Amino acid sequence: MQLDAKVPGGPLAEKWDRHRFELKLVNPANKRKYNIIVVGTGLAGSSASATLAELGYNIKAFCIQDSPRRAHSIAAQHLHDVQSRIAKLRRLERELKRITKCDAGNVAACAVIEALADHELCETEH
């Protein structure tokens, strides 16, 4: 069995650029035909999985935890992060609802324009 690293030819400084330009792109209509395997669901693995899933790819994420307690701890940490993001989005939603209750025809009295000009006018931190 012969291993082939498929390293592009040419000077070392140009290998990455050459590789990027020679890659075949995936047609957006064909993204669901590919399964991408992500090994590890730490910060990098879960971020990569989420980003690729949002782009339309099928993701298979695998992780091995040495104990159920460690897996539970990681899940709880992610839950806390998600809950914080949702709370921030809800504050932003309330603020946007508040400032969009203006007469769209009267720019001088528009809270949206005022809030964009001076963030101190916002009622909450979002």
Give the list of residues 6+ apart from residue 73 with CB closer than 8 angstroms, or none. Answer: none
pLDDT attached to residue 113: 66
Say whether pTM exceeds 0.85.
no
Instruction: List the one residue out of 89, 101, 100 whose CA is nearest residue 126.
Output: 89
- Residue 18's closest CA among 9, 27, 29? 9
Task: Show me where the domains of the chain are located.
Answer: 7-67, 89-126
- Report the chain (126 residues): mean pLDDT per 10 consecutive residues: 82 86 80 88 86 89 75 82 90 80 64 67 63
